[in-house]
Amino acid sequence: MVKTHLEPSATRYLAALPDADRAAYLTANPWITWSGGRASFDWGDFLTHVGARKKNVPSFDTFTLAAPENNLFGVATTKARHFTQWSLRKATGDDGARLDADLPEKIDLINPMYFIERQNPGRSRHWFIRVGTKDSDTSLTVVGNLTAGLENLGDDVNTYMYWDGGHGANQDAPDFITWIRKVSGYAE
């Protein structure tokens, strides 16, 4: 993750700064080494820089069924359900509690890795994936795993992490349009 995605992101960000701004940024962030036009750092320092996660465990399958993700698994007259054995058992206090039988299939339907494993021949072959490095809502490993899974299938994957970008960062919309033109063969 650090060598593949994070250091290239920091390098691109820092290289684009005027010298004085880069020097100021590096002074404020002494955990980053800038040498030969490249940024380097270790995972632990990066995590300290990002700060605390916004969501605790369990972040999506909450014991109280209050997370929007719990509503995703609701049915008919049941607004929300647990979708992990762990949360279900912790919430009910029943170590033998079992998830409803229809849930494994529903869970697979929202998990892109499930479909990547099946190497669906009808899938897209081109992917444009973006996330901010300071996104404290989504784990960066999600993007790393998705990218690696698609690349292992031979797909064209354009992944980039916006340095210091937060959740939902969108910093290169014109590049996205250029990318669409390239993969579609459509030029104005």
pLDDT along the chain (188 residues), means of 10: 95 98 98 98 94 80 92 91 95 96 91 89 92 88 94 95 91 92 86
Average pLDDT, the chain: 92
| Tens-place pLDDT, residues 81-112 | 999 999 999 999 999 999 999 999 999 988 88
- Does 174 sit behind a cis peptide bond, omega within 30 degrees of 0 on the bond before it? no
Amino acid sitting at position 25: Y
Exposed/middle/buried for residue 67 (C-beta within 10 Å: 0-12, 13-18, 19+): middle
